[in-house]
């Protein structure tokens, strides 16, 4: 029962709109699924790293997070507004260099460390479903890998959506960019609101 609750929570959190998924869909629409895969891989790696850190530092984080949560939410919101502005100002170019593709992995990975949705997900799933019941290193790694894979699958599905509907989204590029802009602004707003 506890495992099914954790998996349900993980799937809902990973497949709902957020900065990772919105960026993955936008990048896949603009550059294609294959070139967005590195971003998704970076998101999955960063997601896994956050979960693993939450597992090992759960008690310490509970003491520290309330002190830095305000600043993390501001930094995360500012970064989301920056991403939103990049989307709304972008041109309809489809070419991407290899160097930019490599940077996309690190962008996806580093985004997780300032993504309040992922950090709050990690803290809640670890403190409610994992650490109270499992404390061995093997189980902490296993759950982190499992949840990281679910996060990766969520981002990958959004990028697949962007790639599949690329022609439609390209035809309606301006409204699509405006929608992605507004969704990221909304994400930033909800983070600051809470």
Total number of domains in the chain: 1
Q: What is the pLDDT of residues 35-91, one digit of tens each?
A: 999 999 999 999 999 999 888 877 565 566 666 667 766 776 787 788 778 778 876
In this structure, are residues 143 and 39 in contact, taking their beta carbons and an 8 Å threshold? no
Residue 30 backbone phi and psi in degrees, to 5: -80, -40
Residue 164 sits in which domain range? Answer: 2-6+20-66+92-170
Model confidence at 154, in pLDDT bands (50, 70, 90)?
very high
Q: Is residue 175 in some structural domain?
A: no
Q: Is residue 78 in some structural domain?
A: no
Tell me which residue of 183, 191, 194, 168 sits closest to 24, measured CA to CA.
183
pTM of this prediction? 0.73
Non-local (6+) Cβ contacts of 118 within 8 A are 18, 20, 46, 47, 50, 112, 151
Report CA 37 to chain centroid distance, whole Å.
Answer: 14
């Amino acid at each position: 029962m506890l495992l099914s609750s954790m998996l349900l929570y993980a799937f809902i959190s990973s497949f709902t709109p957020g900065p990772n998924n919105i960026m993955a869909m936008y990048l896949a629409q603009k550059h294609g699924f294959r070139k967005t895969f590195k971003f998704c891989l970076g998101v999955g790696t960063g997601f896994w790293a956050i979960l693993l850190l939450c597992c090992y530092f759960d008690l310490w984080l509970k003491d520290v997070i309330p002190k830095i949560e305000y600043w993390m939410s501001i930094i995360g919101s500012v970064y989301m507004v920056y991403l939103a502005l990049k989307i709304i100002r972008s041109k309809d170019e489809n070419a991407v260099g290899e160097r930019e593709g490599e940077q996309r992995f690190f962008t996806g990975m580093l985004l997780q460390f300032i993504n309040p949705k992922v950090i709050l997900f990690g803290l809640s799933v670890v403190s409610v479903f994992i650490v109270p019941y499992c404390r061995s290193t093997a189980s902490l790694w296993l759950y982190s890998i499992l949840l990281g894979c679910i996060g990766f699958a969520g981002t990958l599905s959004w990028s697949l959506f962007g790639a599949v509907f690329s022609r439609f989204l390209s035809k309606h590029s301006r409204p699509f960019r405006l929608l992605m802009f507004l969704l990221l602004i909304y994400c930033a707003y909800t983070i600051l609101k809470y």
